Amino acid sequence: MENKILTAVFISGKGTNLKKLIQLSKTKKSPIKICLIISSNSKAEGLKYSIKYKIKKYVIKKNDKDSEIKILKKLEINKISFICLAGYMRILSKKFIKNFKGKIINIHPSLLPKYKGLNTHRRVLENNELYTGCTVHFVSRKLDSGKIILQKKIKIYKKDNIKKLNKRVLLEEHKIYPKAILKIFS
């Protein structure tokens, strides 16, 4: 596909979803081209993919009050028109979201609207839920409340703990995030 949508992926950690999105972007059917990786963590393992796949990166310095202004500048310079949040552990301001209205998506490790925010697996287990999963959604001004694009539901087993559940949900995230992007642009 020619004229792919120039995309930035925001990360804070291992970058496993980033890797899946890069793999998608390398296919002919992909509507996106990942041109920039932005991280809120200079030690994020996912930054290694910027080297491996020759993608520009930008790391936000801790306690930088102007970080969003600098990010917006990087996005503008790189002509980014679509953003994927993949384990990005910072909340974007309402002003930032307004600049990219309808052009930012996120993956969340629960079946939204349930369990917004952090520590989802712990809360799911504490509440003896029978199912959990993951959700890809558009980012809106309210935390984890944007329009849902795709969800994947998985059963919770008696032997599950936070670590096991995280591992199983993450495997599903790797499958639905690329599918959600294809769905958006189909």
137 is catalytic: no
Closest CA to 89 of 35, 46, 146, 147: 46
Beta bridge partners of 138: 105
Catalytic residue among 108, 121, 137, 174: 108
37: CB partners within 8 A, 6+ apart: 8, 9, 10, 11, 15, 18, 46, 47, 49, 50, 55, 56, 57, 58
Spatial separation of the C-alpha atoms in residues 41 and 32, rounded to whole Å: 24
In the chain the beta strands, taken as DSSP E runs, fall at: 5-11, 32-39, 56-59, 82-85, 104-108, 131-138, 148-155
Spatial separation of the C-alpha atoms in residues 97 and 88, rounded to whole Å: 14
Residue 107: helix, strand or coil by DSSP? strand
Question: How many C-beta atoms lie closer than 10 Å to residue 53's C-beta?
Answer: 15
Which amino acid belongs to residue 91? I
Active site residues: 108
